[in-house]
Amino acid sequence: MFPDILKKQRKLLNLSHEQVSTRVGIERSYYTKIENGLRPSVKVAQAIGRVLSIDWTIFFNENCAKNAQRKTA
pLDDT > 90 in the chain, percent: 78
Question: By the 8 A CB rule, do 13 and 52 touch?
Answer: yes
Taking CA atoms, 21 is separated from 9, 47, 62, 63, in Å, by 14, 10, 24, 24
Please give the single-letter amino acid code of residue 37: G
Question: By the 8 A CB rule, do 40 and 59 touch?
Answer: yes
- Answer yes or no: pTM beyond 0.85: no
Taking CA atoms, 64 is separated from 57, 59, 60, in Å, by 10, 10, 6
Based on the structure, what is the number of domains in the chain?
Answer: 1
Residues spanned by the domain of 58: 2-72
| Number of residues assigned to the chain | 73
pLDDT at 61: 82
* Tens-digit pLDDT profile for residues 8-67: 999 999 999 999 999 999 999 999 999 999 999 999 999 999 999 999 999 998 654 444
Indicate which CATH number applies to the domain containing 40.
1.10.260.40
